[in-house]
Structure 1
Amino acid sequence: MLDQLQSFAESLPAAVQWLGIILLGAIPFVESYLGSVIGIVAGLSPWVAIPAAIVGNVISMLAFVFTAHGVRQAATKGREAPALSPRRQRLKERFDRYGVAGVSLLGQLVLPSQITSAAIVGFGASRNAVILWQTISIILWGVLFGVLAMLGVNIIGRA
């Protein structure tokens, strides 16, 4: 799958490859971390690939957060929240233990930021706090993987 995504990015004209990386960054499980890697491996400058992947991931996350917030408000208006599935219960336990910041920063090890952010908002966390911490997390993960990809490309290029 990563080969296909990289081929997609490379097939675009050089002037709009950054748009392709924004689109890739918006895909759950690709996000800022793999989007930045794909962009760098496809030949984009890290100064373009990393921010493009981050922008795509943030835009996608915002769509999930605002949708989840609206659904939660409509679903809980005047009634009690329904029982959680076992999987959502585990996520809620982590949320209760680590808070919005911890789940946002570490949640990407388990689930995409889009799903994690929607779940956190669904648990009743502040929409603005989720947006802030998810954005910080997306930036950190995108930069980390982008730098690692850049170093890897430089090492392979020298070999």
Structure 2
Amino acid sequence: MSNPYEGLQDFVAGLPELVQPLMVALAGAIPYVEGEGSATLGIIVGINPIVAAIAGATGNILSVLLVVLLGSRVRESVVARRAAATPVANATTTVATVDEQATTDDKPTRRAKGQTKLRRWLVRFGVPGASLLAPLALPTQLTAAFFVASGVRKGWVMLWQIIAIVLWTGAVAAAAAGLVTVLGW
């Protein structure tokens, strides 16, 4: 079987070795590409599977960290503003979540379906289980934003998102490395 990625592999091989994992890390920061997709692409173009997996996971983790920190600050600001506006409100005032957002059409979007699934997993399995299952429904950046907006502590969100990213990226990268070896690319 001929290699459909030969031209791309030659291009990447011509880049400095330091730039190759940086490209994978940048791709890992993109929602829906994530650590798994970027590591797979890195492996396909000829980057060492371990380097590609670490770079992809690192880019994904850094983007999730940014989302968690920004989302947490936004939530704290909204909660504080609501508490100041209504003297009866207390510190546990909730912020508008996905439940309160209405869609304009009758047909839910792919993102709304993913958020509904994530909400059920969060109730059923808690943050650890929902974090591990969430990549099946939504990108980790959206999952992290959802958790923070729901009031989950940012440290807890980061811990379980990092665990999920490392596990998913490792599993997919191992599968990709095996497939590339079997196909002889």
Root-mean-square deviation (CA, aligned residues, Å) is: 2.4
Gaps of 5+ in 2: 84-88, 103-111
Indicate if the aligned counterparts of 2:118 and 2:137 stay in contact, CA closer than 8 A. no
Match of 2:169? 142
Q: Is this contact kept in 2: 1:92–1:123, CA < 8 A?
A: no
Q: Give the unaligned 5+ runs of structure 1.
A: none
Structure 2 counterpart SS, 1:18 = helix
Q: Give the 5 Å matches for 1:60-139.
A: 60-77=63-80, 78=83, 80=93, 81-82=95-96, 84-85=100-101, 87=112, 91-139=118-166
Which deviations, in whole Å up to 9, do the C-alpha atoms of 1:100-126 show, x marking residues without a partner? 111110001000000001100110011
Query: What TM-score do the two structures reach when normalised by structure 2?
Result: 0.76
Distance 2:152 2:12 in 1: 40
| Letter of the structure 1 residue corresponding to residue 132 of structure 2 | L
Residues 52-91 of structure 1: CA deviation (Å, up to 9, x unaligned): 0000000000011111101100111115433622645664
Paired AA for residue 13 in structure 1:
L
Q: Percent identity?
A: 33
SS, match of residue 107 in structure 1: helix
Correspondence for 1:41: 44
Asked whether the equivalents of residues 95 and 103 of structure 1 are also in contact (C-alpha less than 8 Å), the reply is yes
Give the whole-Å Cα distance in 1 for the aligned partners of 2:29 and 2:8. Answer: 17
Larger Rg: 2
- Whole-angstrom CA distance in 1 between matches of 2:34 and 2:15: 22
- Tell me: CA distance 1:32–1:90, structure 2 relative to 1, closer, same or farther (3 Å): closer
Q: Distance in 1 between the 2:119 and 2:21 partners?
A: 36
In structure 2, the CA distance between the partners of 1:12 and 1:125, relative to structure 1 (3 Å rule), is farther
CA contact (8 A) 2:118 2:134 kept: no
Which structure shows the bigger proportion of residues in helix conformation?
A: 1
Instruction: Look up the equivalent residue of 1:28 and give its one-letter code.
Output: P
